[in-house]
Chain A
């Protein structure tokens, strides 16, 4: 399924950000410009990754989109609405690096949490959670407790939970960051499969170059001090299979992302050496 097909089915802008800035600790000596003049447009059904070194503001950008933190200037529109409206209308689901499951709830009841808060009836909740468990292949673990599951399985539960109310937008903050490499690659394939099945727009934060390239239609490269977008790299891998990670095209994309990251890495080191001279 290509983005254009999704466009024709569900046209429009999933996310429109322009001139976005955010400053932490305004007026303090340790004032940090987390985001500076960020412009980003994501169309419906697109999968984008935000990549960059620590402190480049990629997680902050995700939190602004989700209305988990405020911003200072610029405009952010999630499906044509303000982030606050989008959050209140449950237009996005979110998954974090920590699965953040509730230990006192079974797997099923963790997945049903967003449905409970959205006021779904019990029978509807059960139907939906069974569907989602099937999608993440955890039906056998429906009544287990989160701590009985492996890290990868917990993360699958968290993804199922983020999809619960069927929001058009999925925000993911390094969801596979704490997993081992083998599990991570398997999870990436599962996420792509879920994306194929659901046609969600996905904004994915990562600091892994191969992960960003493998998953995304477009990789958005960010750099720190101040946090800003420095490059956008289109990736057209088409349908992924076991050969994709070994293809020349994959390597070319990885190389161009790496170079985009390095350009600003060197500019950083020169600026810091400048500071050293002063």
Chain B
């Protein structure tokens, strides 16, 4: 009990000091909302516009969720293909670095033209492409970075490459898969949100943040940002919950991203 409270109190304390300091700064310095709105203003905008927040968050979360599913499936397929050709981890690392520099979000206007801009499709696609990379990179690693002795054991047991994949490589890659998902899930929310800045349907969080800011409703804009943060957090926590469910040994295993 004591230890649990020990984990809970420090972040609450830090958050209280941070928000209190912020409020104090705005009041004492008499900062205008376009510069920095007070936490109290953001909170009142958030609660008064709760229905709108919920609707916008639901729209963007749906885009993010579809993109996450689609991108994860694509990432898993490409990783399975890649492990047949990339046998050394040395090749995976520069590949990951190279892919990380591709400005995928910049593809949105192009995808908007390729697909129906009035639909959700281009946004889901951008989200999927962004999700694909951390999944691909981590899962490929998990499939390749297999204990050498365990591989020798599989050979001694006359296992085919396919059997080795099923019995050894895929189970070995599961912690790596969750490492990838934990990066990808909040990223999916950000991608779905930012993709809305490039036109198309206006009911999502990104569109609402942009229009609130354009209409000088700064408190409201920040309230939508808060809703976006909460959405991203829910995605992250959902992945953690899924990981606990799938691998009860989580506490015992540490993987590097």
Residues of A participating in the B interface, judged by any CB pair closer than 8 Å: 63, 66-68, 87-88, 90, 92-94, 96, 98, 100, 102-104, 113-114, 116-118, 145, 147
Contacts and interface: CB of A to CB of B under 8 A. Distances in A.
A100 B158 contact: no
A147 B248 CA distance: 13
Interface stretch (B17-25, B147-155, B208-216): B147-155
A117 B159 contact: yes
Nearest to A88: B158
B155 A90 contact: no
The 3 lowest CB-CB distance pairs between A and B, nearest first, are A100-B149, A104-B171, A98-B149
Nearest to A90: B158
B152 A114 contact: no
Secondary structure of the B side of the interface? helix
Interface string B241-257: 00000010100110000
Contact of B252 (A93, A116, A147): A147
A144 to B, nearest CB: 11
B86 interface: no
A102 B149 contact: no
A85 to B, nearest CB: 11
A101 to B, nearest CB: 9
B163 interface: yes
Given A63-B152, A67-B155, A94-B153, 8 more contacts: A96-B153, A100-B150, A102-B150, A103-B253, A104-B247, A114-B157, A117-B157, A118-B157
B149 A117 contact: no
Nearest to B154: A117
B220 to A, nearest CB: 49
B168 interface: yes
A242 to B, nearest CB: 33
A68 B249 contact: no
25 contacts: A68-B152, A87-B155, A87-B156, A87-B158, A90-B158, A92-B156, A93-B156, A94-B152, A96-B149, A96-B152, A100-B150, A100-B152, A100-B153, A102-B150, A102-B171, A103-B252, A103-B253, A104-B171, A104-B247, A104-B249, A113-B167, A117-B157, A118-B157, A145-B249, A147-B252
Contacts of B159: 117
A9 to B, nearest CB: 26
A117 B163 CA distance: 8
A68 B158 contact: no
Nearest to A114: B157
A117 B156 contact: no
Interface of B: 147, 149-150, 152-153, 155-159, 163, 167-168, 171, 174, 247, 249, 252-253
Nearest to B156: A94
A118 B157 CA distance: 8
B147 A98 contact: yes
A113 B157 contact: yes
Contacts of A96: 149, 152-153
Contacts of A102: 150, 167-168, 171
Contacts of A113: 157, 167
A66 B158 CA distance: 11
Contacts of A118: 157
B163 A66 contact: no
Contacts of B252: 103, 145, 147
B88 to A, nearest CB: 18
B171 A117 contact: no
Contacts of A117: 157-159, 163, 167
A103 B249 contact: yes
Contacts of B171: 102, 104
A92 B159 CA distance: 14
A93 B153 CA distance: 9
Contacts of A68: 152, 155-156
